[in-house]
Amino acid sequence: MTKTTQQTQTDTTLRTLVIGGTGKTGRRVAEKLTGLGRPVRIGSRSGEPAFDWNEPASWGPALEGVDRAYVTYYPDLGFPGAAEHIGAFARAAVAAGVRRLVLLSGRGEEAAQRSEEALKESGADWTVVRAAWFNQNFDESFFLEPVLAGEIALPTADAVEPFVDTEDVADVVVAALTEDRHIGRTYELSGPRLLSFADVAAELSKATGREIAYVPVSDEAYRAVLRENGLPEEFGDLFTLITDGRNAHLVDGVEEVLGRKPRDFSDFAREAAARGVWDV
């Protein structure tokens, strides 16, 4: 038996913990790993065993028999306590025998970078994936209901963002989990062009065949809506990452890792509309 054959057999028996394995990127990472014949354990409160960031006692059972892990944090790495959780989890993972950790982070988030450092200090082989805002925020989570209602009201004025597709993010993460050349690397991911939310509304209108408007609102008004809906006001802080222009430029992480251009928002919108996700 050759060394290559031995390595292949070993790789296909390694179990990967995918934290947030039912979420936007985690679900896709789990599906892609499974398609490669690599065993996956879903890390979520509904998983078996259950995983809960706020219950450290749940981490050990989820890490049992795991060799590597994809780490996503809810609600966001910028929230208070995230770095402490990430550091404690990374140390527990290494102690349990996990040798590779891939962390989903955000572009330009200083608070998230504290979590990145906490993960690196664990001694694991690490890769950090810093992503722009997701295309799929408009069909799977935060902005789905506003799109269905025909009005996206946000405190972003005319600021721009290089929205990235979660399929691209998942492909990069899978590469980082399965290829040694990504160890110790930090990749920044964006889509192929900058879009304002007015541009996004125009793309969505074109894809759906109905009028979807972008309405700029004040930061105070948006935070009031968050409070009324029982959501953390800290979500409002995330828009600073767009409005101050820190991420208003393209990066080439997708092409560097995958050797191809990232997916464009118009392609995402057209395919999502064809699935009927925005039908009303």
Q: What is the pLDDT of residues 122-162, one digit of tens each?
A: 999 999 999 999 999 999 988 999 999 999 999 999 999 99
Cβ–Cβ under 8 Å, residues 150 and 212: yes
**Residue ranges of the domains in the chain?**
1-131, 135-164+191-248+258-280
> What is this structure's pTM?
0.93
CATH superfamily of 135-164+191-248+258-280: UDP-galactose 4-epimerase, domain 1 (3.90.25.10)
Cβ–Cβ under 8 Å, residues 86 and 119: yes
Residues 6+ apart with CB under 8 A from 101: 68, 69, 71, 90, 93, 119, 122, 124, 125, 126, 127
- CATH value of 1-131 in 3.40.640.10, 3.40.50.880, 2.60.120.590, 3.40.50.720: 3.40.50.720
Cβ–Cβ under 8 Å, residues 133 and 103: no
Strand-pair partners of 153: 215
Mean pLDDT for the stretch of residues 15-20:
97
Cβ–Cβ under 8 Å, residues 104 and 163: no
pLDDT at 49: 96
